[in-house]
Amino acid sequence: MQKNNSAQYAGFFALLLIFAAVPMFYAVNNAFAGQPKNFMQGVKLGKKYYETPLGANGKSCETCHTIADITGKGIMGSLVPIPPFPATYYPKFKKANVYSNEKIPYSIQDQLRHCILRGEDGFKYGPHSKYVEYLYLYLAYISNGHKINVPIKKKKLNKK
């Protein structure tokens, strides 16, 4: 008695299709990001993505972080100004959690992920897409050549 293997083959091909579709989805999304031919094209792509609404709620980085903020107006009218050269202000040290006084390093990549998750209610293309890489590149480029401005508190040493 010979079994009908068509059901087994159908299940196998369905799984194969699913496993092939996921990487293709990410490849297609990253393909839309374009492939710059040189460094400055990468910076221009980053600037374009900074200005383009890529958040799930239709916001862009520029929605909150505009040139006007450099003049001291702050984020969405708040009193916290946005630094004109953002990459020079990182790493920062923030509390590990609300229950601890322990401070941990917080990079510009961490800040961008925070903005994507909180300010833009998610990101259409994922936190590890080419879009995010070009945003990092743009922020680093506009900060290049400027003094690192990471605040460091001086502690008094007890001399014996």
| Of residues 116, 144, 138, 118, the one with CA closest to residue 47 | 138
Which tokens hold the place of 65? 């972080």
Which tokens hold the place of 17? 């299709």
pLDDT of the residue at 146:
64
pLDDT along the chain (160 residues), means of 10: 55 47 43 71 88 80 64 46 63 80 82 73 68 84 70 59
- Kindly report the pTM of this predicted structure: 0.56
pLDDT of the residue at 9:
55
pLDDT of the residue at 114:
76
Query: What CATH class does 33-143 carry?
Result: mainly alpha
